[in-house]
Amino acid sequence: MPSHSVDGFVREFLHELNTNQGVMLSRSSANDQYLALASTVKNYLMARWLETGRKTRDAKTKTVGYLSAEYLLGRQLDNALLATDLNEIATKGLALCGLDLATLREQEVEPGLGNGGLGRLAACFIDSLATMDVPCIGYGIRYEYGIFRQTFVEGRQVEQPDTWLALGAPWEFPHPEASVQVNFGGHTEKYVGADGRERTRWVPAWNVLGVPYNYMVPGYLNGRVNTLRLWSAQATKAFDLQIFNSGDYAQAVRAQTFAENISKVLYPEDSTPQGKELRLQQQYFFVACSLRDFIDQELEEDFDLHNLADRITYQLNDTHPVIAVPELMRLLIDEHDFSWDEAWEVTSKCFDYTCHTLLPEALEVWPTELLGRLLPRHMEIIYQINEQFLAEVREAFPGDEIRARRMSMIAEFPERGVRMAYLSTVASSKVNGVAELHSQLLRDKVLPDFSEMWPEKFTNVTNGVTPRRFVKLSNPKLSNLITDAIGPGWVTDLERLKELEPYADVPEFKVAFREVKAANKARLTALLKQRDGIDLPDGHLLDVMVKRLHEYKRQSLKLLHIVSLYEQVLSGKIAAADVTPRTVVFGAKAAPGYKMAKDTIHLINMVAAKVNSAPEIEGRLKIAFPANYNVTLAEKLIPAADLSEQISLAGMEASGTGNMKFALNGALTIGTDDGANVEIRRLVGDKHFFLFGMNEPQVAELGAKGYNPGDYYESNQQLKATLDLILSGHFSDGDPHLFDAVVYNLLNQDRFMALADFDSYVEAQGKVEERYADEEAWTRSAILNVARSGYFSSDRSMRDYLQRIWHTSPMI
Ligand code: 26W
């Protein structure tokens, strides 16, 4: 390992610059310098990485195989510097070279290999496992293009490709020599094996190669470096040869592209599965590679696979990787001579399933026609798993044929398809939701028959976020303030934030706390100016709503609140001077094919254009919508926020994790009784959380009774005036029909009951303003939010998984 000194660092850095980048310092570009810096930091981690591998292999303990189609990692450099305690040394060393660490940091393009919550959660979890010294391999896909880059053209979202690999990828280690072949298509054949048993052989039609790319996952100051292994698709020789032999060179090259398409791009839909063939190819591709990898590379050659569950526990991050279940069955039966029962015994011990949604349309169902064509052997195995399972159901509930049909993994309508959530549930030892309310609704509403049959299978693990990235790195000023008060232990033991509680009443601490918030706002102001040309006014309440754009999350409700305030000033119902100065920041990407979401983005931008320049408002209301919200921007936005908007319709947001990040950074939440908000409110205390809206049973009741949004429009004058202002064309250059789709959807359908919760939301915003006007009271609440949110560390989530699901423990 290079020496932990400024001199040693400089030597290493210049060496990397000269030998890796092939440039002298004086001729080097900022990108050269960044790449050399990344290599330098990697060199510090390398010995630990190798040692971690050796230690884990020797110990033969159980590894967590986290199977996730998405990892939303965020920038790597800062996290690596933090994990190696090199920040100060790097700052000084670079300064000696005439360079500025902050500038080099900005060079890094974050790997955006995920859509939102699910992908970011995976990144937090692998960080926590490394920090807790738990052996884990994260498995996923190395998309060449991650989540699209969002731009706005005349207020409308326009997607650009995310070329995150274009300027070099210093954090990855390709291992083409360890490539794995993955088969697709073809048919199956029966034959009689040497032992006289009937066997099945899969005769695939085509195949691709999976090339592993390893990434370091460093623990915080503990010497452990786990691995994230992402697979990239490449054409196989065999694949090429067939076609080359036919003499069609151009076709052969096209075939290569076809194979490589598999890992080309992340699907940007985060709730409506499109049932696209390529998506199923991606899912099978990465789990087939990952299972083979562990069995062939990580386990010793003579390992008895009957004991596989002693050495690996696979966590299914939603249903996306569940095709791993029939794949493991196939490997054991067809390639390792297991009987069906033996294979099932092993397989059903190896998997656990986390569900991340409640929206019925987000539950994956793959048409049997497609699955059978792409993976004929897997289709057979799924049918057989289903048959055995239904036999079990019939035995448990004799005569209840309707129940058996309901529980079948095979749906018959609207077309024959495999319900992946049912397959996941049947094959897994444990099934969990991601917040208390979500887990309860999962049991009672999504999988009631299954929870009745196997009550002990269901459990809850409330999500968490890593305090390393989302406090220590993103909010160094608050981190220092906390450490000065209670010492540094909180970074790996977040419950210790409780020790801050008494400081909520210490005047000097409160002043310092406000200074931190002000400095974070100033930092954000500078960033938004430079990044987006946005001017943030001074002294405003900073009200932030950042998350994917989705109707259930109700960005439109936030917008109605703003338009309502604006309308009241325009029409003279209130004086501008009586409006609490407020800046609302939105950050949101819409799935490219999600029309309503894109229209909502357009409407927000049009309202922003009008409100921001309206003289009547006297600068007291401002909307900022920086494009391309991502992890990097979140790290600057969240520490600056005063108010966190978590306003989904109750029963719709599985957990939310942004909500936790805001609370930990001293923002107060305005939110519904939904997802992890429920737990946040319970922990920080009712007085320090602005609750509004219907709760889940009330939502269900209103839905059952028949919800008519028009009633709310007709009976609520202010709501009517607000919607009428939009309908008048005021925000759409006189074209009154521009936003018909959004407004009429609210008026006629409003699936997520924004109009029903409007009044209560506005009232809660009034309470926010009251509290904000009392600086001391607000600061006290903010400090208590920090002090009482330690529960939401992903370290705690991982402890819960270890104890209740994986039954393994950190290495000693
Ligand atoms: C295209 C199919 C599809 C369907 C669902 C893709 C992705 C999904 C995900 C499950 C959506 C997702 O990211 N869910 C979020 O997961 C977070 C982590 O558990 C939760 O905090 C969020 O509430 C949940 O929306």
Q: State ipTM.
A: 0.98
Range of the domain at 232: 60-75+110-429
Atom of ligand 1 nearest to the CA of 70: 7
pLDDT of residue 247: 75
Say how far apart CA 670 and CA 684 lie, in whole Å: 13
CA 790 to chain centre: 20
- Is 687 inside a domain boundary? yes
pLDDT of residue 272: 82
State in Å: Cα 137 to ligand 1 middle: 21
- Is 36 inside a domain boundary? yes
pLDDT of residue 258: 86
State in Å: Cα 724 to ligand 1 middle: 34
Residue 518 three-state SS: helix
148 and 48 assigned to the same domain: no
Beta partners for residue 139, in sequence order: 67, 229
Stretches where the chain sits below pLDDT 50 are: none
Residue 591's contacts (CB-CB under 8 Å, 6 or more residues apart) are 268, 269, 270, 271, 272, 548, 597
Catalytic residue status for 722: no
CA 693 to chain centre: 26
Catalytic residue among 56, 657, 669, 779: 657
- Is 486 inside a domain boundary? no
49 and 138 assigned to the same domain: no
Alpha helices (runs of H) in 538-644, residue ranges in sequence order: 555-570, 595-613, 631-637
State in Å: Cα 712 to ligand 1 middle: 31
Q: What are phi and psi of 216, to 5 degrees?
A: -75, 140
37 and 186 assigned to the same domain: no
101 and 236 assigned to the same domain: no
210 and 86 assigned to the same domain: no
pLDDT of residue 238: 59
State in Å: Cα 645 to ligand 1 middle: 18
Amino acid letter at 556?
S
92 and 118 assigned to the same domain: no
- CATH classification at residue 753: 3.40.50.2000
- Is 171 inside a domain boundary? yes
State in Å: Cα 558 to ligand 1 middle: 22
- Is 41 inside a domain boundary? yes
By C-alpha distance, which of 362, 373, 172 is closest to 267? 362
pLDDT of residue 252: 75
Say how far apart CA 553 and CA 545 lie, in whole Å: 10
State in Å: Cα 317 to ligand 1 middle: 9
3 and 132 assigned to the same domain: no
Catalytic residue among 279, 558, 661, 788: 661
By C-alpha distance, which of 366, 358, 490 is closest to 419? 366
* Residue 521: C-alpha distances to residues 134, 579, 616, 641, 646 (Å): 37, 21, 26, 8, 20
* Residue 302: C-alpha distances to residues 179, 306, 310, 355, 713 (Å): 21, 12, 15, 35, 71
Residue that is last in its domain, among 407, 429, 451: 429
Residue 526's contacts (CB-CB under 8 Å, 6 or more residues apart) are none
Residue 416's contacts (CB-CB under 8 Å, 6 or more residues apart) are 367, 368, 369, 410
Residue that is last in its domain, among 429, 455, 482: 429
Catalytic residue status for 589: no
Question: Which protein residue has the closest C-alpha to ligand 1 atom 7?
Answer: 270
Q: What is the DSSP letter of 147?
A: S
What token pair was written down for 520? 């974070």
Residue 242's contacts (CB-CB under 8 Å, 6 or more residues apart) are none
20 and 70 assigned to the same domain: no
- Is 545 inside a domain boundary? yes
By C-alpha distance, which of 792, 570, 544 is closest to 678? 792
State in Å: Cα 278 to ligand 1 middle: 20
By C-alpha distance, which of 302, 288, 298 is closest to 331? 288
Q: Are 423 and 382 in contact (CB under 8 A)?
A: yes
Atom of ligand 1 nearest to the CA of 119: 13
State in Å: Cα 306 to ligand 1 middle: 34
Residue 119's contacts (CB-CB under 8 Å, 6 or more residues apart) are 68, 70, 71, 72, 113
Amino acid letter at 345?
E
Q: Are 48 and 223 in contact (CB under 8 A)?
A: yes
371 and 275 assigned to the same domain: yes
Give, in degrees to the nearest 5, the angle at Cα 794 between 792 and 796: 75
Q: Are 669 and 644 in contact (CB under 8 A)?
A: yes
pLDDT of residue 135: 98
pLDDT digits over 717-766, tens only? 999 999 999 999 999 998 899 999 999 999 999 999 999 999 999 999 99
614 and 553 assigned to the same domain: yes
pLDDT of residue 812: 62
pLDDT digits over 433-486, tens only? 999 999 999 999 999 999 999 999 999 999 999 999 999 999 999 999 999 999
Give, in degrees to the nearest 5, the angle at Cα 376 between 371 and 381: 90
Atom of ligand 1 nearest to the CA of 267: 1
Catalytic residue status for 438: no
pLDDT of residue 432: 98
Q: Which residues of 248-261 are buried (b: 16+ CB within 10 A; e: fewer)?
A: eeeebeebbeebbe
* Residue 26: C-alpha distances to residues 11, 34, 100, 280 (Å): 15, 14, 14, 49
Say how far apart CA 756 and CA 699 lie, in whole Å: 10
Say how far apart CA 139 and CA 120 lie, in whole Å: 14
Q: Are 319 and 421 in contact (CB under 8 A)?
A: yes
Question: Which protein residue has the closest C-alpha to ligand 1 atom 5?
Answer: 271
Q: Are 482 and 696 in contact (CB under 8 A)?
A: no
Count Cβ atoms below 10 Å from residue 53 Cβ, excluding itself. Answer: 15
pLDDT of residue 243: 64
- Where do the DSSP E strands lie in 612-760? 621-624, 643-646, 668-671, 689-691
pLDDT of residue 717: 98
Pocket of ligand 1, beta carbon within 6 A = 116-118, 121, 269-273, 318, 356-357, 362, 434, 463, 653-657, 675
Catalytic residue among 553, 554, 598, 602: 553
State in Å: Cα 591 to ligand 1 middle: 13
| Residue among 356, 432, 441 whose CB has most ligand 1 atoms within 8 A, to mutate | 356
State in Å: Cα 269 to ligand 1 middle: 10
Say how far apart CA 442 and CA 360 lie, in whole Å: 11
pLDDT of residue 273: 81
State in Å: Cα 22 to ligand 1 middle: 43
By C-alpha distance, which of 199, 181, 179 is closest to 191? 199
Catalytic residue among 320, 521, 547, 688: 547
Secondary structure in 3-state letters for 440-451? HHHHHHHCHHHH
Say how far apart CA 163 and CA 167 lie, in whole Å: 9
* Residue 607: C-alpha distances to residues 264, 542, 558, 588, 730 (Å): 36, 18, 12, 16, 9
- Is 464 inside a domain boundary? no
Say how far apart CA 290 and CA 142 lie, in whole Å: 13
What token pair was written down for 791? 């529960």
Say how far apart CA 713 and CA 456 lie, in whole Å: 46
| Residue among 66, 115, 269, 270 whose CB has most ligand 1 atoms within 8 A, to mutate | 270
Secondary structure in 3-state letters for 371-406? HHHHCHHHHHHHHHHHHHHHHHHHHHCCCCHHHHHH
pLDDT digits over 352-411, tens only? 999 999 999 999 999 999 999 999 999 999 999 999 999 999 999 999 999 999 999 999
- Is 436 inside a domain boundary? no
Catalytic residue among 42, 548, 602, 622: 548
Average pLDDT along the chain: 97
Say how far apart CA 45 and CA 726 lie, in whole Å: 56
Domain count, the chain: 3
What token pair was written down for 238? 């065999």
Residue 696 three-state SS: helix
Q: Are 764 and 491 in contact (CB under 8 A)?
A: no
By C-alpha distance, which of 435, 467, 452 is closest to 397? 452
CA 469 to chain centre: 14
Catalytic residue status for 547: yes
pLDDT of residue 271: 83
191 and 217 assigned to the same domain: yes
Beta partners for residue 779, in sequence order: none
678 and 607 assigned to the same domain: yes
Question: Which protein residue has the closest C-alpha to ligand 1 atom 22?
Answer: 656
Residue matched to tokens 């398809």: 417
Residue that is last in its domain, among 429, 449, 468: 429
Catalytic residue status for 466: no
Catalytic residue status for 661: yes
